[in-house]
Amino acid sequence: MRKQDQNCVFCQIVAGKIPSTKVFEDSEFLAINDTHPITRGHTVFFSKNHYQNGEDMPSEERGRLFNKAVEVAGQVVKEAGAEGYNLLICSNEAAQSGVPHRFHIHIIPRHAGDNLNIDPRGYR
């Protein structure tokens, strides 16, 4: 039995109540195109179980999630013709998460000259 929340947009996507463009799907996880992409190929990757925060997810599932996210990122980068990628987790509103009640990973393909500046060296 999956953990779900009727008010969660990602749970509604998993249930097929909200349309999405799937990039990857297996029995545990789903990757979809972001509806407001910040780069070409921007993808959102998440468990089909509902977790508000990463610490709510059992560690074994969290490990599988991260391992699969890296695999899917490689696929997304190739399909987007990108040179690299960032994996980004925003947990809760203070971290600028636009989707409450669902732990998820953004796969952000990076293209030379995309002008997206998230270089951690600039935040000392």
Could you say which of 36, 104, 106, 111 is catalytic?
A: 104
104 labelled catalytic: yes
Burial of residue 118, with CB atoms counted within 10 A of its CB: 0-12 exposed, 13-18 middle, 19 or more buried = exposed
Q: What angle do CA 8, 118, 65 make, to 5 degrees?
A: 45
3-class state of residue 4 by DSSP? coil
Cα–Cα nearest to 84, from 106, 112, 56: 112
Residues classed as catalytic: 104
